[in-house]
Amino acid sequence: MIARLLCVLTLLTAGLLVPTPAFAGSFVGRYQLSFADSAQCLEVTSGAGGKDDGTRLRQWGCNGNSNQLWRAYLVPCGDRGCQILVNAYSGKCAARGFGGLGNGTPIVQWPCDDDNGSEWWLLSYLGGPYHLWADLDSPHCLQHHNPYTGNGDPADLWGCNNSYPNQAIYFDVR
């Protein structure tokens, strides 16, 4: 009877367990990230290629599916704390493509590895939505590319500017 109960509990919880990330960080929470101007969410496609390294992130209508959910971890960087964002669907991090820091650098998913720092994000809060700075020494922020509010607009880096609504991001607890 006890063995049968343990077997059932194991099967029930197996689908609920999330793999431990490959970096040392403190779990902060699970979020849906939405752009302030479009009310669209940051996601990785749930279709073909959705779990591949280098798949570009984009905005899409918020639906609460796992490809739009991000687990945030606090990691040390300089004298501040940075966030690493791990996609609940793919288990990969939101990262700067090719480790770039310039305007137009694509935001992709990549295996989490805090050795290169390409997936570190510094949060800036100025009394409203957050801005995600790419690096301690970079003046570039995550944004959806155009002031276009429809599905599919790709995420990239651009010079941080508090007046750019496509760089303002809400972290909605999920």
Under DSSP, the state recorded for 7 is H
pTM: 0.83
Average pLDDT along the chain, 174 residues, taken 10 residues at a time: 35 38 80 95 90 95 96 83 91 90 93 74 77 82 85 94 90 92
> pLDDT at position 29, please?
94
In the chain, where the domains are located:
44-83+90-173
Q: Are 55 and 148 in contact (CB under 8 A)?
A: no
How buried is 49 (Cβ within 10 angstroms: 0-12 exposed, 13-18 middle, 19+ buried)?
exposed
| CATH fold of the domain at 44-83+90-173 | Trefoil (Acidic Fibroblast Growth Factor, subunit A) (2.80.10)
CA distance 129 to 81: 18
Q: Are 108 and 123 in contact (CB under 8 A)?
A: no
